Amino acid sequence: MSLTSSDTAARLAARAAAVIPGGVNSGQRRVPGLEDLVIAATSGSTFTDENGRVYTDYHAAFGPPLLGHNDPDVDAAAAAAARSVGLMGVGVTRVEIELAERLVDAVPSLEKVLLTATGSEATFHALRLARTVTGRRYVLKFQGCYHGWHDAVAMNVISPAERVGTKDPLSGGILPEVLAATIVCPFNDADAVERALDEHDGDVAAIILEPIPHNIGAVLPKPGFLERLRELATKHGTVLVYDEVITGFRHGLGGYQEACGVIPDLTTLGKAMANGWPVSALGGKAELMDLFSTTPGRPAFFAGTFNGHPATTAAALATVEKLQRDPVHEHVFRLGDRARAGLTSLYDRLGVPAVVSGFGSVFVTYFLDGLVENYDDLLRNDVEMFIGYRRELMKEGIFELPLNLKRSHFSYAHTDDDVDRLLEGTEAAVTRVLDSRR
C-alpha cells in the first residue's frame, strides 16, 4: 500500500504509468512506497500532493530551490524576460552578458563562462574540453560522486558493496572502451590518485570531483585532500574539475572553492543557480574556455539550442542578485547548524548510533558508528533505519526523500519553527522505527 494512496492520486499515477515509462520523468523519482505521489503545488518551504496533504520539503528537488519554491523575485524576472525577448539562436542577449559578468566576479576559478541547460551537459563539456586540450584518454572520478548521465561518468555512485573497486555502470549501453577510460578512486585517498596518475603517466586528461560528495549525503573532504589533488593535477598536467552543481550557490555565491580556497581549472555549476529554473554553467581559465567552438574554428565543439535562454538566464541573474542582496546564506547556514546540533543530541539521547553530517544548508544522518571518510564507510549505514524514519516522517508532514544516502536541504523559506518541528518529528519517527524492531 502506497504511503500516498487515495483514489485521485492512484488514478493520476495510473494515467502517468500508462504513457510515461515508470510514470515519472527521471530516474529516482519513482520511490518505493511513494508510487502514487503526484505533486499538485509548491510554495516556499512546502509542497502539496494531489490528496491535499502539505509537507515541509527538505528534498527540494535534489537542491535547486535555495530561496524556497516559487521565489517571487526569481519567477517575476523569468516572466518579464519571457514577455520581452524569446529564444533567438543567434548573437547574445543583455541578460547573458550580465549573468556571465556576475559569475566571473563571484566564482574564484571563473575567467570565462558558458551556459548550458543541465549539469550533465556542463560536466560533459568540461571533460571534452580537458581531453581536447591535453590530447589524453583517461578521466578520473571518485566512488560516490555523481556528475550526470553521460557515459564517461555514469558509474560508481551508490554501488553495492560487491561492486566497489570494480566498474559499476549506472546504465546499460555504455561502450566497454568508455568504461575503461574512466578511472575510479576512493574519495579522500590522495595516495590512490597519485598511484593512478603514475600508472597512466601522461594520459589522464581530467580529475573530476564533487568537492563535497553530496550524492552520497555529505562526505567532507579531509584537511589537505583537495590541496593534494591540486598539486597532483598541476604536476601531471591534468585538468582539475570541480563539479559544483550542488555546492555552487548553495554553499556560497563563490561555491565551495571560495570556502576551501583550493581553486580548480574548470568548474561546473547548476541546480541552485536559478532557484529551480533549468540553467547550468561551465567556466574556468580563459586559456581553456577559449578553445570552445563558440569562437569559430576552435576545436572543442559546444552547442545547445536552449543555452542562454533569456527567461531562464534572467532567473539565474535574479537568483544571484538576491543572494547578494539578502542574508540567504547566513540564514540557511544557521538553520543547518541548529538542525545538525539538535539531531546529534537527539540521537545521543536515544542511544542510536549516528553520524550527523552536512555543510551549510545541507544535512544528513548516517546510522552507523565511527568516522565517515569515504563510500566504504557508508556501507555500514543502517539502510532500514535511514529509509524507515523518513517514511514515518511523512506522517508528521515532513518530507526527506526516503532513499538511501539522500541528503536534505534548508532554504531561505524555512524557519526556526521548521527546525523545531523537524527535531520533534524526527524523534517521533525514529522512536516508532525503534519500537517496531523490538
Ligand X SMILES: Cc1ncc(COP(=O)(O)O)c(C=O)c1O
- Which spans of this chain sit near ligand X (rule: CB under 6 A)? 62, 118-120, 123, 146-148, 210, 215, 243, 245-246, 270, 280
| Catalytic pick among 55, 58, 138, 146 | 146
Q: To the nearest whole angstrom, how small is the minimum distance from the Cβ of residue 247 to ligand X?
A: 8
Output the smallest distance, CB 278 to ligand X, in A: 7
Question: CB–CB of 186/374 below 8 Å?
Answer: yes
Minimum CB distance to ligand X, residue 21 (Å): 18
- Of 49, 151, 189, 243, the catalytic one is 243
347 part of the active site: no
The number of angstroms, rounded, from the C-alpha of 210 to the middle of its chain's C-alpha atoms is 9
Q: Quick one: 424 exposed, middle or buried, by C-beta within 10 A (0-12, 13-18, 19+)?
A: middle
Cβ-count burial 189-204 (b if 16+ within 10 Å, e if not): bbebbbebbeebeeeb
CA distance 281 to 113: 7
CB of 213 to ligand X, least distance (A): 8
Three-state DSSP class for 166? coil
Whether 376 sits among the annotated catalytic residues: the reply is: no
**Looking at beta carbons only, is 150 or 230 nearer to ligand X?**
150
Task: Please identify, using beta-carbon distances, which residue of 29 and 200 lies nearer to ligand X.
Answer: 29
Active site residue 146: yes
Instruction: Write the DSSP symbol of residue 215.
Output: G
User: Which residues, 6+ apart, have CB-to-CB distance to 152 below 8 Å?
Assistant: 124, 127, 139, 178, 181, 182
* Residue 180: CB minimum distance to ligand X, A: 22
Of 146 and 410, CB closest to ligand X: 146
Least distance CB 330 / ligand X (angstroms): 24
Which CB atom, from 225 or from 256, has the smaller least distance to ligand X?
256
Q: Which is nearer to ligand X, 120 or 182 (CB)?
A: 120
Residue whose entry in the numeric block shows the C-alpha cell 560522486: 145
Residue among 174, 181, 178, 185 nearest 209 (CA): 185
CA distance 105 to 97: 12
Q: Measured from the CB atom, is 74 or 246 closer to ligand X?
A: 246
Q: With respect to ligand X, which residue has the nearer C-beta, 23 or 211? A: 211
Q: What is the dihedral of CA 349, 352, 354, 360, to 10 degrees?
A: -40
Task: Give all strands of the β-sheet with 112-116 in edge-to-edge order.
Answer: 112-116, 280-284, 266-269, 239-244, 204-209, 138-142, 182-185
Cβ count within 10 A of residue 182: 21
Please, which residue, 142 or 146, has the CB nearer to ligand X?
146
Q: How far is the CB of 281 from ligand X (least distance, A)?
A: 11
CB 13, min distance to ligand X, A: 23
The three cell numbers of residue 381 are 549505514
**In whole angstroms, how far apart are CA 428 and each of 58, 59, 178, 395, 432?**
17, 19, 47, 10, 6
DSSP reduced 3-state for 282? strand
Which one is catalytic: 141, 271, 322, 406? 271
Beta carbon of residue 18, minimum distance to ligand X (angstroms, whole number): 26
Displacement of CA 113 from its chain's centroid (Å): 19
Residue nearest ligand X, CB atom distance = 119
The answer to whether 268 touches 126, Cβ cutoff 8 Å, is yes
Considering beta carbons, is residue 36 or 400 the nearer one to ligand X? 400
CB 391 within 8 A of CB 312: no
Q: What is the DSSP string of 362-426?
A: EEEEE--SS---SHHHHTTS-HHHHHHHHHHHHTTTEE---STT--EE--TT--HHHHHHHHHHH
**Beta strands in 248-353, from DSSP E residues, in sequence order:** 266-269, 280-284
Residue 420: count other Cβ atoms within 10 Å of its Cβ. 13
Catalytic residues, which ones? 146, 243, 271
